A and B are shown apart, each in its own frame.
Chain A
Amino acid sequence: MKSLEKFAPSHPQKTRILPRTKRWGWWLLLGIATVFSFVQIAGDGRRLINSGGWTLFWRFWRAALRPDLTSEFLEITLQAVGVTLSYAAFGTFLALAVGFAGGIVLSERWWEGVENHYRGRGRQKGFEFRMARTLLRVLLAVPRGIHELIWGLILLNILGLDPLTAVLAIAIPFGAITAKVFAELLDETVPAAFLTLINSGTRPGSALFYTLVPQTITDLLAYGFYRFECAVRSAAVLGIIGAGGLGYQILLSLQSLRYNQLWTLFFALCLLSGAIDLWSGLVRQQMRDGKAEKSSSGGGVGKKGSRLGISLWAAAALIPWSFYFLQPQLSLLWSPRTSMLIGQIGRESFPPRLPDGGVMVLFDLAGQTLAMSVMAALLAAAIGIFFSVPAARLSITLSGYPQALSQPVFVVSRIILLFMRAIPAPIWALVLLFILFPGILPGAIALALYNGGVLGRLMAEVNENQDLRPLLALQTHGASWGQVVFYGIFPAGWLRYLAYALYRWEIAIRATVIVGLVGAGGLGRLLTQQVSAFDYRRLPFTLLFYIGLTLIVDLMSGWVRRMMR
């Protein structure tokens, strides 16, 4: 099969087969979830569509053709880009630092090393060490479970409108996630080198930096670049709560109905986010290639390595620059006022109290939030599947597909997807509020647009990596390109589409909080209201429900994904 070999997938995927009965169960579940979310959205008989808003809605879209390009506004835009970029860069840097330290103390391997080291000296500390690790795990789960927007709102109450608020709001949850990921990286590494050093009497700290750290640092950095992509989006969202940057300017332009300015900012955000995605993608690709090269030929870094070096130096230079650009007031961190405010929040939130209307209100809102996330995930999956073929660069030409069109269709699809995921979900929600009444529907659609943008790209990548030989076989049987899509591409990819869609569902349930900010219903709205109103006494129960709900969704999604594998 010489001539067909180039179409073979680089990573063949094995799928386990699901018994048919279980499959029925899964379709039933999907049906129930869909009906449930529709009932939640449309059930209470409120009007959904605001027909009076169409004029504004069209004015908004028409302005896309005439962005405000006066030098005065471009300067404002550039400044805002700088702020958003700095938040993201500095926040990611702190998150990596926290994640590095946290990852080590969370990893099983580290404690194994410590235990071995002291056992050799006749001391038994195993139990205490294990306790410490478990305790840290639990402690770090809390910052991870709270969305960066909630952190932003809480920090806003403590630190005020200082850049530190945005930077820490990114650094705290991202740091906790990075710690978990780094711990997993450390534990997946072959421990032989580390334990050899330990057993020959080296202190655990030195052994770590001579073995496990160099073994995992590339993966950690690659993950850091991925986090940086996420941080740019978070930084834009944080702007909406007043932290400055692109999100803030977008909100100002939207509220003062200056749509031409709004589009300038949109385009800037797309460019920034697209450039960071591209850069991060290239860096991670090069790191993977570098690793593969090293393991196959044992050296020869060459041209690619030097380009990678430039990227890393550029990233390193970005950190002091963003510090200089933001001029955060570090002294706020140890000022007496800060510790007083933190103490006050602690006192005020105890003993916690249920919201007016009692626990049923929380259940009701949790139901709405769940419905919003289900609807968002379903719509996002539909958007993603719709774009998954036009946005894929397949290495075969589908017969009968107009070839002259394939390149422009590819470029346009990718731009639409980039646009959908570059605009923060709360901004989408605000735009939708022109034509929809506030509630969970605009929230769900806003989350679907954002997540659909992400899913479209991921699903297109699935299609790009497919085994193309069955598709060619279909063509030689005379199938048209549409038939190849439905008999070849979709059946082969759908399990992974599903896995990605479920994963986005987990993200959507967390993100309900950010559309809650602009009045979309559910727990998110209550949460943001309570934080903004300094209502710390009622906050803990709401947070508990919200975190509980995200955990339930994680469990369900994980369960379905395992079942499908």
Chain B
Amino acid sequence: MAPAFKLHQVSVEYSGFPALNDISLTIHRGERIALVGPSGAGKTTLLHLLNGLLQPTSGTVEILGDRLPNLSISQRRSVHRQIGTIYQQFHLVGNLRVIHNVNAGQLGRWSLAKSLLSLIWPQQVDQAQSALAKVGIPEKLLTRTDQLSGGQQQRVAIARVLVQDPAVILADEPIASLDPERSRQIMRLLADLAQTLHKTLVVSVHEIEYAMAHCDRLIGLREGKIVFDQRPERIQPSAINALYAL
């Protein structure tokens, strides 16, 4: 089976400013990876390469063995279906009810007719309900999404990915706006889900202790370059200090 991701000499520039510089990286299926590093190190850019929102300025990105630019639109959609992303700001549609935001994870599989019907008469409610139960908010099924707190919205975003049932879960600073207790819960939830459902997980985090506790591989990024790529127990404190040094 092809690895989940394979990056070869990848660079990304935003209007001349380099965000990622000559990155080569392979991520295997089933790995739980944390991207760590200071703000502006290129973590978000890397995640956007992995879910196909961005194309590299140079180099190649293989997602589940395919390079997106070579694919037709429908093939590209089927790759997207295999990758679920949880965004830092959730990117939910505020004035839809929770059920519809969760069902948005189904859209890659549903026909347009079925997705329209679902807006009036919600489809596959059981599945959405059980996903919400897994993230701990089963009672919010019919609430309007913008009535939820930040932590609850984050859970809806995770439930959306659960319903999508992708091979890979990407999470961009999923705990950035949460308090320590909820951060721990969410990280544990993501790691457990990845482990029990055999998903590949790539998550970017600021707090290195959460990364160490829940992931089996840490990639340190600084100024668009990989500084280290290690199992957590083999990372020296000095390497971490160097990563975040001002």
User: In the complex, which of the residues B53, B83, B104 contacts A479, with contact meaning CB atoms closer than 8 Å?
Assistant: B104
Contact B93 A400 (CB under 8 A): no
Give the interface segment out of B26-34, B73-81, B209-217: B73-81
A134 to B39, CA, bound (A): 59
What residues of A have a CB within 8 angstroms of the CB of B178 in the complex?
Answer: none
Contact B87 A1 (CB under 8 A): yes
- B89 near A469 (CB under 8 angstroms)? yes
Are B104 and A492 in touch, CB under 8 angstroms?
no
* Beta-carbon contact of B91 and A17 below 8 Å: no
Contacts A/B (CB < 8 Å), 30 sampled: A2-B45, A3-B14, A3-B45, A3-B48, A15-B94, A17-B144, A17-B147, A399-B73, A399-B77, A400-B77, A469-B87, A469-B89, A470-B91, A472-B53, A472-B91, A473-B85, A476-B83, A477-B81, A477-B104, A477-B108, A478-B78, A478-B81, A478-B107, A480-B77, A483-B107, A486-B112, A487-B104, A491-B96, A492-B93, A495-B95
* Among B48, B95, B107: residue with most chain A CB under 10 A: B107
In the bound complex, residues from chain B placing their C-beta under 8 Å from that of A1 are: 44, 87-89, 172
Interface string of A380-415 (1 = CB under 8 A from B): 000000000000000000011000000000000000
> Are B93 and A470 in contact, CB atoms less than 8 angstroms apart?
yes
> Which residues of the partner chain A approach B52 to less than 8 Å between Cβ atoms?
476
Q: Taking each of B53, B78, B104, B110, which has the highest tally of chain A beta carbons within 10 Å of its own beta carbon?
A: B104
Chain A residues, Cβ within 8 Å of B96:
487, 491
Q: Which residue of A lies closest to B91 (CB)?
A: A473
- From A15, A399, A470, give the contact of B76 (CB < 8 A): A399
Q: Mark B110-121, 1 if CB is under 8 A from A, else 0.
A: 101001100100
B205 surroundings in chain A (CB, below 8 A) = none
Q: Identify which of residues 469-503 in chain A touch chain B, using a CB-to-CB cut-off of 8 Å.
A: 469-470, 472-480, 482-483, 486-488, 491-492, 494-495
Residue numbers in B under 8 Å from A4 (CB-CB): 48, 53
Contact call B85/A476, Cβ cutoff below 8 A = yes
Answer yes or no: B100 CB below 8 A from chain A CBs.
Answer: yes
Complex-state Cα separation, A400 to B52, whole angstroms: 14
Q: What interface size band does chain A fall in?
A: 20 to 34
What is the bound-complex CA distance between A469 and B53, given in angstroms?
11
Closest A residue by C-beta to B87: A473
Q: Is B54 located at the chain interface by the 8 A CB criterion?
A: yes
* Selected contact of B119 from candidates A400, A486, A492, CB within 8 Å: A486
Residues of chain B from 40 to 58 with CB closer than 8 A to chain A in the complex: 40, 44-45, 48, 51-54
Whether B44 lies near A2 (C-beta < 8 A) is yes
Return chain A residues, CB-CB under 8 Å to B109. 478
Query: Which of the residues B40, B77, B112, B146 comes within 8 Å of A482, measured between beta carbons?
Result: B112
Which residues of the partner chain B approach A482 to less than 8 Å between Cβ atoms?
Answer: 112, 115
Q: Determine if A476 and B93 form an interchain contact, defined as CB atoms under 8 angstroms apart.
A: no
Contacts of A487 in B (CB 8 A): 93, 96, 100, 104, 107, 115, 119
| Contact A477 B95, CB 8 Å, known A1-B87, A15-B146, A483-B110 | no
Give the top 10 A-B pairs by smallest Cβ distance, nearest first: A478-B108, A473-B91, A479-B107, A478-B81, A478-B80, A482-B112, A470-B91, A483-B107, A400-B73, A491-B96
Known contacts A17-B144, A477-B108; is-contact A491 B93 (Cβ 8 Å): yes
Which DSSP category, helix, strand, loop or mixed, fits chain A's interface? helix
Smallest CB separation, B116 vs chain A (Å) = 6
**B92 an interface residue at 8 Å Cβ cutoff?**
yes
- Report A1-20 CB contacts with B as 1/0, cut-off 8 Å: 11110000000000101000
B19 within 8 A of A: yes
Check if B160 sits within 8 Å of A477, measured CB to CB.
yes
Asked whether B37 is an interface residue with its Cβ less than 8 Å from the other chain, the reply is: no
Contacting residues, chain A, for B48 (C-beta < 8 A): 3-4
14 extra A-B contacts, CB within 8 A, seeds A2-B44, A3-B44, A491-B93: A1-B89, A3-B14, A15-B94, A17-B147, A470-B91, A473-B85, A476-B52, A476-B53, A477-B107, A480-B112, A483-B110, A486-B119, A487-B115, A491-B96
Say whether, besides A399-B77, A476-B52, A470 and B107 are in contact (CB < 8 Å). Answer: no
- Please report the C-alpha to C-alpha distance between residue A347 and residue B109 in the assembled complex, in whole angstroms: 75
- CA distance in complex: A465, B105 (Å): 25
Residue among A399, A474, A494 with the most chain B CB within 10 A? A474
Inter-chain CA distance A476–B161, complex, in Å, is 11
Q: Is the CB of A480 within 8 A of B107?
A: yes
A475 to B91, CA, bound (A): 11
Residues of A close to B74: CB separation below 8 A: 400
B200 interfacial contact with A, CB 8 Å: no
Tell me whether B164 is interfacial, beta carbon within 8 Å. yes
Is A3 touching B89 in the complex (CB atoms < 8 A)?
no
A471 CB to closest chain B CB (Å) equals 8
- Closest Cβ of chain A to B165, distance in Å, is 11
* Option from A399, A400, A474, A492 in Cβ contact (under 8 Å) with B94: A492
- The minimal Cβ–Cβ distance linking B18 to chain A, given in whole angstroms, is 12
With a cutoff of 8 Å between Cβ atoms, the chain B residues found around residue A15 in the complex are: 94-95, 146
Contact across chains for B80 and A476 when beta carbons are under 8 A apart: yes
Q: State the Cβ distance, A433 to closest chain B Cβ, in Å.
A: 37
Query: What is the bound-complex CA distance between A487 and B164, given in angstroms?
Result: 15
Residues of A within 8 A of B83 (CB): 476
- Determine whether B220 belongs to the interface, using a CB cutoff of 8 Å to chain A: no
